[in-house]
């Protein structure tokens, strides 16, 4: 029997694109003429990672912790959401093992940003860089992503904790 318990969490988020907003993905500012629209900074990737962490630890979702009806969350940096979720996860004895993410955006092309985003997420989660993977996909000009109306992100995280001896 293993000395560890494992859990997997899946996160997803979508935000529409709009003018006069910075584009922030994974806590990294991306050069683009539009940004994601939301109550916070609308970092679709950090929202998906936050939900993946919360889901793996059975702690609900980002909207329960940081409702968009709360004025205190207006324009908030999404790293705060991630850090709060990670603190709760760690309080239960869980630690992230690895993270795999997919960003969905017709434009801008994200290949040049993927290493920086992965490094930043690794730092935020306290993981080695080789335990974080970022993929980027276009919408193939189909749907809101393909028409450049929105961006989405998926994230899956593996958590591990030491097993508690059971009688």
Distance CA 14, CA 131 (A): 24
Q: What is the pLDDT of residues 5-53, one digit of tens each?
A: 999 999 999 999 999 999 999 999 999 999 999 989 999 999 999 999 9
Instruction: Using a pLDDT cut of 90, give the percent of the chain over it.
Output: 87
Mean pLDDT of 108-130: 98
pLDDT of residue 164: 63
Residue 36 is given by DSSP the state E
Confirm whether pTM is higher than 0.85. yes
Half-sphere exposure of 95 (CA within 13 A, CB side): 10
């Amino acid at each position: 029997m293993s000395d560890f318990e494992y859990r997997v969490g899946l996160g997803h988020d979508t935000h529409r694109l709009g003018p006069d907003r910075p584009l922030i993905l994974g806590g990294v500012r991306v050069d683009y003429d539009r940004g994601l629209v939301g109550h916070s900074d609308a970092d679709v990737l950090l929202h998906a990672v936050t939900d993946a962490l919360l889901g793996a630890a059975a702690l609900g979702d980002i909207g329960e912790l940081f409702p968009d009806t709360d004025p205190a969350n207006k324009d908030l940096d999404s790293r705060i959401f991630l850090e709060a979720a990670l603190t709760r996860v760690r309080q239960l004895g869980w630690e992230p093992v690895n993270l795999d993410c997919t960003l969905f955006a017709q434009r801008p092309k994200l290949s040049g940003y993927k290493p920086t985003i992965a490094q930043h997420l690794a730092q935020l989660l306290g993981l080695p860089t080789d335990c974080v993977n970022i993929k980027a996909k276009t919408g193939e000009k189909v749907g809101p992503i393909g028409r450049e109306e929105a961006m989405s992100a998926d994230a899956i995280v593996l958590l591990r904790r030491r097993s508690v001896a059971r009688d």
